[in-house]
């Protein structure tokens, strides 16, 4: 994972994502460099538009609890009722992914 972070950092800084730069960033982070992983990642990113890939990536948004709190310091407790999923329904959803 540190290799991907290093590639994103290099891209953000408008530096070329190549083996030497990637190795330098990983070394600077204190991690041990695996040259095979570096070469593999650089080869995999050769034809990738990183800006487009980042824009297309799903982003999880978490709401801040303080923003939802009503004025006056009183916090309402909302109970969320979730219906338990049975195992069959979970397997149906899983099987739809794989055909």
Position 55 confidence tier, pLDDT thresholds 50, 70, 90: confident
In this structure, the number of other CB atoms found within 10 A of the CB of residue 15 comes to 14
Position 54 confidence tier, pLDDT thresholds 50, 70, 90: confident
Q: Express each pLDDT in 10-45 by its tens digit.
A: 999 999 999 999 999 999 999 999 999 999 999 999
pTM above 0.85, yes or no: no
CA distance 88 to 25: 46
As a whole number, the mean pLDDT across the chain is 77
- Domains in the chain, CATH or no CATH each: 2-56 (1.10.10.1410)
CA distance 27 to 79: 48
């Amino acid at each position: 994972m540190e290799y991907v972070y290093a590639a994103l950092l290099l891209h953000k800084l408008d530096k070329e994502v190549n083996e030497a730069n990637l190795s330098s960033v990983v070394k600077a982070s204190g991690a041990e460099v695996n040259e095979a992983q570096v070469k593999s990642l650089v080869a995999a990113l050769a034809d990738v538009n990183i800006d487009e890939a980042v824009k297309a990536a799903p982003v999880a948004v978490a709401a801040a609890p303080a923003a939802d709190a009503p004025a006056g310091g009183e916090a309402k407790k909302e109970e969320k009722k979730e219906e338990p999923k049975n195992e069959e329904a979970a397997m149906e959803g899983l099987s739809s992914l794989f055909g």
